[in-house]
Structure 1
Amino acid sequence: MEPSSEISGRIILVPTPIGNLSDITLRALEILRGADRIACEDTRHSGQLLAHHGIPGKPLVSLHEHNEARRAPDLIAAARAGETIAVISDAGMPGISDPGYRLVQACIESGTPFEVLPGPSAVITALIGSGFPCHAFRFGGFLSVKSGKRRSALSSALDSGETGIFFESPHRIVSTLEILTEINPAAKTCVARELTKKFETYHRGTAAEVLAHFQSHAPKGEIVLLVHAPE
């Protein structure tokens, strides 16, 4: 359904910093200041971001993985009644391994106006920083906790000939690198950690080399794993 021109309200997806709080656009700040309410993944976490940028006292409503389907109709109704509602996640672009997809679907189905602002994304930041080919890539979201599914996802990425990008937990990255090394020890591998933060690091090498590093250096922080078939 096409958005109705008679509706004065709207829903706006606003990317937020993935680490460094200065990585937010002027337009994003303008929208957050002017919004009637802000839907956020974690109200306490987002409250800190808003306070840092001098945006206190905004009505906040939680919108996370477990309540998005239930809360979307209320947000749609508020927008159709004239409210401007900003939607943010804890970090990066809403909808990318974060809440937002179901709300956008609800906007499309109901003809409710919505906008998507450009901004920070750990996926693109890690891709460029890895030095791996950028002309074709695939993002697989969070790798499964099940080793068999991780093996399948990694094998598929290597077989594709494209750069594969995944989010991974620091508690599982060594296990995942072991699986990757079993598949192909020469696979080009990059572990990007704590992007845009003080202790940002990129560890590049073959799967076997990167595994050896993290077997002797306990990984911490948020991790993006990138893989590419060897030349």
Structure 2
Amino acid sequence: MVEMVLSSIIGVTLKSSEIIYWSYSQKENSIWSELNKAREEFGEEIQRSSEPDIIIKTDTTLFFIEAKLTAGNETISRNTSNSKKYETGGDNWFSKVFKSHYKTVAIDEKKYELLRFWLLGTWMAKQQGLNFYLVNLVLSEREKNIGTIFKRHLNENQRMKFIRITWEDIYRQILNSNLSGVDKDKIIKYFKNKTIGYDGNGKLQRAFSI
């Protein structure tokens, strides 16, 4: 199902995927070793390091998926002591994949988390000969300009891209797919019934605009 949804959204046929949730590889029965290599290369402590919500590795492409529901993409560094390693690690990889200075992206624009995922993800993909997508998964009514805002700092090309997709996009892909059975029914039910707390008038808010 994951391959089907991603293939439909990006327009590329994918297969042979491995899905890694919160850095844990079921194949390795541990934190994914490839991610740890990248963390060390850019000076991160393993216990306090970049952790994409979902990593998907296919035969051709590496995906980092950062999913936002109630939270947003504005994040700042609480520890600037390792910023130099982000800028110099990987044989100065930062200068190859960013147009802007570290401070501009991480501090001024408050895109520290996305910066780290783009930096580590593109480097990992390069080491493995894979394409790379950093996928920002958000609600359809939120952060509509995140692509424009973040992309202006990136050196994108055909092999590495940042994309914004919405939870509602995924819902429609699954709803209109040829899939059937209990799993599809459960997912559709989840989307229709998911809530995100109460509004100012005490009314329960539905999570998704469907």
Q: Same fold (TM over 0.5)?
A: no
More helix by share: 2
Higher relative contact order (CA 8 A, sep 6+): 1
Query: TM-score with structure 2 length normalisation?
Result: 0.27
